Structure 1
Amino acid sequence: MAVEPKTTTDVTESASSSSGTGLDENIAGALAYLFSPLTGILFFLLEGENEFVRFHAAQSIVFGVGLFAVYVGMTVFQMMLLLVPRLGGLLSLLFSLAYFVVGFAAFLTWLFLLYKAYSNERFALPVFGKLATRLA
């Protein structure tokens, strides 16, 4: 007589619920930041009910558009620096270091937002988060 090992079938729910896209909400929230603001727009349009995913998609849109606006403003300012007689080229060259600083800060912020969304945390950026909350 063979003795069968006891098996237990526990049904455990995952820590994160799924979104309307079929992905776990933390995965969908993180993917919304991947190619900000494009993936943010995609998830914002596809996700109708999950507030977590909609918030992160909206924040991705606001972050991406805001960053684009900052870079456009910096470019316009740098072009205006070139109009300064004698020192314009040097000032423009020095100002180009600001592109590196802003780009590096944006990259670190992007990684942080990606991590927070994947960790199932609803982290709102100081300015962009308020806009994202209203959009979501």
Structure 2
Amino acid sequence: MAVEPKTTTDVTESTGSETGSGLDENLAGALAYLLSPITGLLFFLIEGDNKFVRFHAAQSIVFGVGMFVIYIGMSIVQMILLFIPRLGGLLSLLFSLAYLVVGFAAFLTWLFLMYKAYSNERFALPVFGTLADRLA
């Protein structure tokens, strides 16, 4: 008795429409966050017609620049705390914990935004998303 060989077919379904870069829009939206704000700017310039990718690229730019500004502000505050006599070092050390909290929150937000973009969801952050909506 002869055994028939099994045949398999690879069927890949597209989760979204293609973009000017040749990628699916969900993948392009997620990649816009990868090296925020650099990749956001790259996808913002490449994608002229795709509103979904342009929104996520704009939000990546605003989020990346916003986090950079927040870290600069925190560095300035920490330097000022160092000049307080006797307590400056301790306050600056305690303020360093705020760096960890903000950094961890930014990392989790970054992962969440990449996940939402890959899931074809147009999730807007409360402050950054409003600015990104205007840019896109």
| Structure 1 and Structure 2 fold alike (TM over 0.5) | yes
* Matched ranges for 1:53-64 at <5 A: 53-64=53-64
SS in 2 for 1:121: coil
Normalising to structure 1: TM-score of the pair? Answer: 0.90
Count of equivalent residues: 126
Equivalent-residue separation in structure 2 for 1:27 and 1:15 (angstroms): 9
In the alignment, the residues of structure 2 paired with residue 116 and residue 53 of structure 1 have an alpha-carbon distance, to the nearest angstrom, of 12
Partner residue, 2:105: 105
Please name the residue that 1:77 is paired with. Answer: 77
**Secondary structure class of the residue paired with 1:39:** helix
> Quick one: distance in 2 between partners of 1:85 and 1:41?
44
Which whole-Å deviations, capped at 9, do the CAs of 1:69-111 have from their partners, x for residues lacking one? 0000000000000010111001000000000000000000000
Residues 12-21 or 113-122, more deviating: 12-21
TM-score computed with the length of structure 2 as normaliser: 0.90
Partner of residue 34, structure 1: 34
Partner of 2:41: helix, strand, or coil? Answer: helix
Q: Percent identity?
A: 79
Quote the Cα distance in structure 1 between the aligned partners of 2:94 and 2:13.
Answer: 55
Root-mean-square deviation (CA, aligned residues, Å) is: 1.4
Unaligned runs of 5+ in 1: 1-11
Consecutive unaligned residues of structure 2, counting only runs of 5 or more, are 1-11
